Structures are given as structure tokens and as C-alpha cells.
């Protein structure tokens, strides 16, 4: 996710902004920029030098010598438009008098851009964000032409924010109104810091912690007007809002993790946001809305007879969910492949096959090699990745981005649910495209999918009870996770999480296979966790769990809130909200992520950097 910072003080702000950018570095970024406003107007400096942009800005004489007392800065994590200097923020309007920084996604930017182009605005980037600068400019000139004077900057800003669909934290400064930073938000975070030397805004309190004494967290659909000595907060209709500023007692390190004890915990809590962001601007009827940057003409997909899904680790598990969903909704045969095996097994590929590589990082060597092989075999190639500009995007026919933001913890959590979001949405859209689903059906499924974010929130609210139940298993060393149908990929992912961070022995198994071997291993020292949320094989799973129990293994289940009978059979239950069965992996994984987390903590492991593992594996 992008990071924004702004400062308005009685003194120079250059160093505050550069230091703030350095403090945001831990989040990961692909470009950075700063705009400084002094008596001669806005100065703008921005670079897309991977991991070096901030360093470059910090040694620029123009930045170091600036006397500006107001400015904005930004670290970018690309979603629309590849990482390059032009796409980096801040963005200017046509007049060069106002500059904006933005974190989030503007869903309706294409319509706005067309409308603004028709009114004569010229765009220089491929971002969704640039429309905001031009729309403020447009609204400002409208308000001025009506001659209605007072608060024109604020009014133009609120008019603009009201026209935006999507998620955003937007800050703007203007040489015409040189004392004020305006910032507004919907879903993306903004904190305002009040200090002795001036006032500050940021998307991350860690960037402004040392300059401010008190902080105000802006709420959704609010605007803050910040000068060096004042703060006013309004709703989008510009009614004033009372607020209370409070001190933050976090250290810088705590602040990076937003107060959570680890990045993994923070990222688990970001799952609903990652899920929602990833679905923004996508729907059921237009397959092309799933493709970013590099597009298929959807008609090219009309000839597809078979789909191969390839990935490693967690990405392989989301591929498995997608296999079930695509076959169910689009009735296209899907094969599932571990990326490191794919090209060595002579898969039968031609121009009627679509190969989809799923990789959070976009750099996993086995997945890259699998997609290169597919391309050489004339298959159509699509990738799903979280990193715009990553290597995988260079050699494919189309790209679908997840929008989980940078994931710092090695164990994938929010990137997994973001992959599920885009793959499940794509499966429904493919069902529509293939003519299998009626529009009304597809729309209903899509609405249910979007609603999973609320179900995830409910599950996250149960963190304490999940972790308390997990604590019971602190002495167990052997775990089996079993599930059927959509419970199967969840068992694989849950076992992987547990292995990765707790170093305990864990296996994920399709429950029906247990009796064909693994059941011999079970005894009273084993804990078997059944994914017993409702799906068409629920009853069969319960029978499988009975078989397990009769071998004296301890049984725990993940079950739906509406399941009134499950407590008659089992004592230890992770309850989760009900979901449509094909979406259940999105919610069912949450208690199991907390299980892995709690056991890792109990075993004193470094949760964010587990031993022997790398976030991205770039060797075969």
C-alpha cells in the first residue's frame, strides 16, 4: 500500500518529509516523491528507482536547500500504471498549481478521465490517482466561475471526493492556498499529528511520530483542513465535526506494526481490506475488468478448452480453490500443477489452453519458468500477482493484480485472501462469459463474495477466543488438518501455515484419503483438525472425523455459527460465520492462521522471519 506524509510548519519541512519517507520504507515501495511549496510555487521531485528513490531524493540539492514550510511526500506501491517516474506521486493538475498524493484505488477513474479529457485536461501518467488533481482543478474553476468565493479550495476538494468511487486517502496542497493541507479519506488510513512546530498528516503514524504530540485518526468520509496552527474536521458535506486528539505511546517499532506484536498479526488484520480492495472495480459481466496493464481481448478466451493453474506454496492452494470454482461455474476443465513440476511432466499445451501462474511476489523462479514454458508451447498465459512491475508481468499475455499491499511477514496471509478474491471473482465472470451463469445468478454470487469481507471482520473479532483455544494444543507436536471439497485446500493451507511458523509437524489431507494410509499414524498424541463448515460433503466429513476419534486422536473442528449440532459431537470448536460453500476458504482459514500464530508464539519462534524460509524463492 502507498504511504502518504504531509507537513505544514513555521519552518523548513524538507527533512521532515524525507525522514518520514525513510520511516515508511519498511512497508516496501517501488517509487517515491516529494512536493515542496514555497513562495515561487510547487517543486516536484519523484523517482521510480527500486529501493533507491528515497535515497536519491535525500541527496538532491533542490530538496535539501528548499525553504518550503509546507509539502507532501509519498511512497508508491503500484496498482494502476507500472512503476516509473511519471506514475510516481505527487501528481499535478494542468496548471501545476496543485499537487496531490493518494493511497487507495479509484474505481471510476476511467470515466472521470474521459470526462476530464473532454474538458481539455491533459494527463501525463497511467495512474488512477492523477484524475484527482485534475478533478479538483475542474471543480475549483467551476466554483470560481460561480463567484461564490469563500472556502473554495475546501469546497472543490469535497466535491471531488464525493465524485470518487473506491478507496482513498488523498492529500492536496496548492500554491493558491499556501497555508493549508487538505486530506480526506474513505477506507484508507489517515492520521493527523499535532505538534509544537506545526501539524502533520500521514497514512502511518510511524512517519510523523517524532514530530507530533497528539494524534487524530480521521474517520471515513471525513476531511481535515490542516494549517501550521489549526485543525478543522468536516464531513464530505462540510459540516464541522468535533474531535479529540490523543497521545500515542507507541515506540517507532510498535508504530510500524500499527501496535500489533508482529507484521503477521497486522497483516492478518488487514485481510478484509486486502480482499475488498482486490475486488474493487471488478464485476461479473466484464471479464476485461479483471485484467490490469496487459490485457486479453476476452474474445481470445472464447477458444479456451482447458485451463492449467500453477503456483507454489500458498499460491498453489489458492489455485486449488480456483480449480473448484472455475469448473463449477464456467464448466471448463482445469488442471492444477505445482509450478516446479509443471514443465518437466510434458503437459499437453497449445493455443486452446490458458495457463494461469499465481505468485504473490511475481518472482518465484519455478512459476516464472512454468509460464515461460507455457508461452513457448503457444498457450495463452495469464498471471496473478501482488507486485506491479514484477518479473512475471514481463512475459505474459495478461495480468490480474491482487491489491493486498506489501506483505512483510514471510508467511502469506493477506495476499492469500486477496488471491482468493480475484480468482473467485474471475471464476464467476468466466461462468458468465461462457454462458453457464445467468446474470442474476452471477450478480448474486458476486455480492456474496464481496460480503465475505464482513464475515472476515467477524472472524477477526474472535481473535482472543481463537488464540485461547489454540493454547490448549501448545504441547501437541503432530497435527493433521483434514477437509473435503473446499475444506481440502483450507486444510493444506492451514497445515502449511502451522509448519512454516511453529515448526511443528502438520499435514493437510483430503479427509476421504485418510483411511488409505495416514490413519495408521494416528494415536492419542495426534490432534486432527477437521474443516467442518457446511458444504456438500459435510456429513461425510463428520464420518471421517468419527473414524479418527475411534483411533484416540484428539479432534478439533472449524464449524459454522449456524451449526447447532456440531457441539453434540465435539468439544473444541473454532466457530466461523457462515458463507456460501465455494467462498468458505476465505473465512475458514482465519482461526487456523491464529492457531499457527499462537503456537509459534508459544514456541518462542520469530513469527515474521521463520527459520530456513524466504519470502521469495528465486532459485530452483
Grid cell of 367 as nine digits: 512459476
Tell me: does residue 67 bind ligand G6P (CB under 6 A). Answer: no
Tell me: does residue 92 bind ligand G6P (CB under 6 A). Answer: no
Near ligand G6P by CB under 6 A, which window of 165-173, 209-217, 284-292, 358-366?
A: 358-366
Residues in 278-317 that interact with ligand G6P by CB under 6 A? 312-315
Site string for ligand G6P, 233-262 (x = CB under 6 A): ------------------------------
Distances (CA, A) of 587 to 275, 388, 445, 452: 11, 26, 16, 7
Nearer to ligand G6P, 361 or 579 (CB): 361
Tell me: does residue 391 bind ligand G6P (CB under 6 A). Answer: no
CB of 386 to ligand G6P, least distance (A): 8
Which residue in 99, 208, 301, 410 binds ligand G6P (CB under 6 A)? 410
Near ligand G6P by CB under 6 A, which window of 87-95, 107-115, 159-167, 409-417?
A: 409-417
Nearer to ligand G6P, 255 or 599 (CB): 599
Nearer to ligand G6P, 75 or 413 (CB): 413
Total number of residues that touch ligand G6P (CB under 6 A): 17
Picking from 349, 362, 345, 360, the residue whose alpha carbon sits closest to that of residue 307 is: 349
Nearer to ligand G6P, 387 or 553 (CB): 387
Tell me: does residue 322 bind ligand G6P (CB under 6 A). Answer: no
- Sequence-distant (6+) residues with CB within 8 A of 109 are 80, 128, 129, 131, 166
Which residue in 199, 202, 364, 584 binds ligand G6P (CB under 6 A)? 364
Tell me: does residue 490 bind ligand G6P (CB under 6 A). Answer: no
CB of 268 to ligand G6P, least distance (A): 14
Which residue in 103, 360, 491, 560 binds ligand G6P (CB under 6 A)? 360
Tell me: does residue 491 bind ligand G6P (CB under 6 A). Answer: no
SS3 labels along 231-287: EEEEECCCCECCCCCECCCCCHHHHHCCCCCCHHHHHHHCHHHHHHHHHCCCCCCCH
CB 390 within 8 A of CB 363: yes
DSSP 8-state symbol, 218: P
Which residue in 158, 174, 262, 361 binds ligand G6P (CB under 6 A)? 361
Near ligand G6P by CB under 6 A, which window of 133-141, 203-211, 404-412, 424-432?
A: 404-412
CB contact burial 237-253 (16+ within 10 A = b; e otherwise): eeeeeebeeeebeeeee
Q: Which residues are catalytic?
A: 2, 615
Closest chain position to ligand G6P (CB): 313
Distances (CA, A) of 118 to 94, 108, 131, 136, 160: 14, 16, 13, 16, 17
Which residue in 180, 359, 393, 409 binds ligand G6P (CB under 6 A)? 359
Nearer to ligand G6P, 371 or 411 (CB): 411
Tell me: does residue 9 bind ligand G6P (CB under 6 A). Answer: no
Nearer to ligand G6P, 316 or 329 (CB): 316
Near ligand G6P by CB under 6 A, which window of 5-13, 204-212, 462-470, 610-618?
A: 610-618
Grid cell of 213 as nine digits: 504530540
Near ligand G6P by CB under 6 A, which window of 125-133, 230-238, 270-278, 410-418?
A: 410-418
CB 419 within 8 A of CB 402: yes
- The number of residues making up the chain comes to 620
Nearer to ligand G6P, 125 or 364 (CB): 364
CB 228 within 8 A of CB 242: no
Tell me: does residue 208 bind ligand G6P (CB under 6 A). Answer: no
Nearer to ligand G6P, 165 or 338 (CB): 338
Tell me: does residue 116 bind ligand G6P (CB under 6 A). Answer: no
> To 10 degrees, the CA torsion angle through 553, 558, 563, 566?
10
CA distance 474 to 222: 45
Q: Following DSSP, what letter does each residue of 69-132 receive, concatenated?
A: SEEEEEEE--SSS-SSTTTSSPEE-TTSSEEEEEEEEETTHHHHHHHHHHTT----S--STHHH
- The half-sphere exposure of 163 on its side-chain side, counting CA atoms within 13 A, is 21
CB contact burial 287-320 (16+ within 10 A = b; e otherwise): bebbbbbeebebeebeebebbbbbbbbbbbbbbb
CB 528 within 8 A of CB 557: no
CB of 188 to ligand G6P, least distance (A): 24
Tell me: does residue 616 bind ligand G6P (CB under 6 A). Answer: yes
Which residue in 199, 367, 391, 393 binds ligand G6P (CB under 6 A)? 367
> What residues are paired with 555 via a beta bridge?
528
Nearer to ligand G6P, 88 or 412 (CB): 412
Tell me: does residue 99 bind ligand G6P (CB under 6 A). Answer: no
Q: Using CB under 6 A as the criterion, which residues of the chain lie in contact with ligand G6P when the complex forms?
A: 312-315, 359-361, 364, 367, 410-412, 613-617
Amino acid at each position: 500500500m502507498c504511504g502518504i506524509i504531509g507537513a505544514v510548519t513555521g519552518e523548513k519541512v524538507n527533512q521532515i518529509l524525507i525522514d518520514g519517507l525513510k520511516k515508511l520504507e519498511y512497508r516496501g515501495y517501488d517509487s517515491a516523491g516529494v512536493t515542496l511549496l514555497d513562495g515561487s510555487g510547487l517543486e516536484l521531485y519523484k523517482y521510480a528507482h527500486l529501493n533507491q528513490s528515497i535515497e536519491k531524493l535525500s541527496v538532491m540539492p533542490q530538496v535539501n536547500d528548499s525553504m518550503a514550510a509546507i509539502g507532501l511526500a509519498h511512497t508508491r506501491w503500484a496498482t494502476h500504471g507500472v512503476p516509473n517516474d511519471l506514475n510516481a506521486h505527487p501528481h499535478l493538475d494542468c496548471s501545476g498549481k496543485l499537487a496531490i498524493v493518494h493511497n487507495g484505488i479509484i474505481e471510476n477513474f476511467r470515466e472521470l478521465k474521459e470526462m476530464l479529457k473532454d474538458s481539455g485536461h491533459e494527463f501525463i501518467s497511467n495512474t488512477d490517482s492523477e484524475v484527482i488533481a485534475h478533478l479538483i482543478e475542474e471543480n475549483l474553476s467551476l466554483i470560481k466561475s460561480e463567484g461564490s468565493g469563500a472556502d473554495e479550495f475546501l469546497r472543490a476538494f469535497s466535491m471531488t471526493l464525493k465524485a470518487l468511487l473506491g478507496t482513498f486517502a488523498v492529500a492536496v496542497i496548492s500554491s493558491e492556498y499556501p497555508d493549508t493541507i487538505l486530506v480526506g479519506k474513505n477506507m484508507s488510513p489517515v492520521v493527523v499529528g499535532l505538534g509544537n512546530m506545526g501539524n502533520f498528516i500521514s497514512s502511518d503514524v510511524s512517519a510523523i511520530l517524532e514530530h507530533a504530540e497528539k494524534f487524530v485518526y480521521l474517520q471515513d468520509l471525513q476531511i481535515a483542513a490542516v494549517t501550521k496552527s489549526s485543525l478543522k474536521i468536516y464531513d464530505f458535506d462540510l459540516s464541522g465535526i468535533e474531535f479529540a486528539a490523543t497521545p500515542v505511546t507507541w515506540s517507532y517499532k510498535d508504530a510500524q506494526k500499527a501496535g500489533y506484536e508482529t507484521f503477521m498479526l497486522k497483516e492478518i488484520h488487514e485481510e478484509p481490506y486486502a480482499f475488498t480492495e482486490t475486488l474493487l472495480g471488478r464485476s461479473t459481466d466484464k471479464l476485461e475488468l479483471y485484467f490490469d496493464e496487459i490485457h486479453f481481448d476476452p474474445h481470445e478466451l472464447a477458444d479456451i478448452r482447458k485451463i492449467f493453474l500453477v503456483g507454489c506454496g500458498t499460491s498453489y492452494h489458492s489455485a486449488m480453490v480456483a480449480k473448484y470454482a472455475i469448473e463449477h461455474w464456467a464448466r471448463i476443465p482445469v488442471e492444477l500443477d505445482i509450478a516446479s513440476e509443471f514443465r518437466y511432466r510434458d503437459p499437453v499445451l497449445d493455443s486452446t489452453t490458458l495457463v494461469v501462474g499465481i505468485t504473490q511476489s511475481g518472482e518465484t523462479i519455478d512459476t516464472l519458468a512454468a509460464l515461460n514454458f507455457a508461452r513457448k508451447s503457444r498457450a495463452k498465459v495469464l498471471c496473478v500477482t501482488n507486485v506491479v512491475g514484477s518479473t512475471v508481468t514481463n512475459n505474459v499475455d495478461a495480468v490480474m493484480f491482487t491489491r493486498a499491499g506489501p506483505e512483510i511477514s514471510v508467511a502469506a496471509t493477506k495476499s492469500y485472501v486477496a488471491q482468493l478474491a480475484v480468482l473467485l471473482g474471475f471464476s464467476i465472470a468466466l461462468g458468465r462469459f461462457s454462458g453457464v451463469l445467468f446474470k442474476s445468478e452471477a450478480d448474486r454470487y458476486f455480492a456474496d463474495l464481496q460480503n465475505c469481507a464482513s464475515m472476515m471482520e467477524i472472524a477477526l473479532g474472535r481473535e482472543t477466543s481463537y488464540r485461547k483455544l489454540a493454547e490448549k494444543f501448545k504441547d501437541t507436536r503432530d497435527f493433521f488438518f483434514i477437509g473435503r471439497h473446499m475444506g481440502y485446500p483450507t486444510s493444506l493451507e492451514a497445515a502449511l501455515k502451522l509448519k512454516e511458523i511453529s515448526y511443528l509437524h502438520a499435514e493437510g489431507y483430503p479427509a476421504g484419503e485418510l483411511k488409505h494410509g495416514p490413519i495408521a499414524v494416528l494415536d492419542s498424541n495426534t490432534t486432527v483438525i477437521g474443516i467442518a463448515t457446511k458444504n456438500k460433503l459435510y456429513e461425510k466429513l463428520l464420518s471421517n472425523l468419527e473414524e479418527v476419534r475411534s483411533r484416540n486422536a484428539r479432534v478439533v473442528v472449524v464449524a459454522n455459527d449456524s451449526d447447532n449440532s456440531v457441539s453434540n459431537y465435539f468439544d473444541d470448536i473454532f466457530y466461523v460465520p457462515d458463507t456460501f460453500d465455494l467462498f468458505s476458504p476465505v473465512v475458514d482459514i482465519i482461526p487456523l492462521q491464529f492457531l499457527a500464530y499462537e503456537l509459534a508464539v508459544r514456541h518462542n519462534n520469530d513469527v515474521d522471519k521463520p527459520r530456513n524460509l524466504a519470502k521469495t524463492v528465486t532459485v530452483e
